[in-house]
Structure 1
């Protein structure tokens, strides 16, 4: 029988955030842990096939192949609404006006 490890799965919207602690078997992949967390039920608009993922702020390219370690925090990222460079330029232009 595989040992169990504790991981967390986190997702946030501007108006609602959730971190779910999950006990999973050693060798569980990032995507499997997200599914096991049940976080999709909390956020029906979340489409895992389109989502980007990370572990402690570091982007993960292969969610199906990334094996988790005890204590990892899986983060599910929302798509950007605006390019960060453009947002900075907009703020600078607004500040210059006044």
Structure 2
């Protein structure tokens, strides 16, 4: 008798800002990304708003999985990271951010 080989797969999803969920799963050999998402309990309605990938690369839902794969579901960015950095820098000021944030008392300006 042949033993059925199970794949150890992790499904990760960021369903809301500041929230990350992770489900470790054991799936049968030949399981696809869609099978992993269904086993994690993510509905088709939730998945329609998320990008799905394996180890950070976008893949189709019918992509077969390998042992140790990490299926990731990511929301779209709401703010461009470059714009967010500029806004954060403007709020904090030049003295409280970057290279000059932690100077010794009495140290010279700059490098």
Q: Output the TM-score relative to the length of structure 1.
A: 0.71
How well do the aligned residues superpose, as a CA RMSD in angstroms? 2.5
Aligned counterpart, 1:59:
57
CA contact (8 A) 2:49 2:75 kept: no
Counterpart Cα distance in 2 of 1:97 and 1:31? 47
Unaligned runs of 5+ in 1: 41-45
Kindly state the Cα deviation for residue 14 of structure 1 after the two structures are TM-superposed.
4.0
Structure with larger Rg: 2
Counterpart Cα distance in 2 of 1:84 and 1:16? 18
Change (3 A) 1:14 1:66: same
Q: Output the TM-score relative to the length of structure 2.
A: 0.65
For this pair of structures, how many residues does the alignment match?
A: 91
Unaligned runs of 5+ in 2: 96-111
After the TM superposition, which residues 1-98 of structure 1 pair with which residues of structure 2 at under 5 Å, given as runs?
A: 3-12=5-14, 13-14=16-17, 16-40=19-43, 47-56=46-55, 58-62=56-60, 64-96=61-93
Which aligned segments of 4 or more residues in structure 1 are displaced greater than 4 angstroms?
none
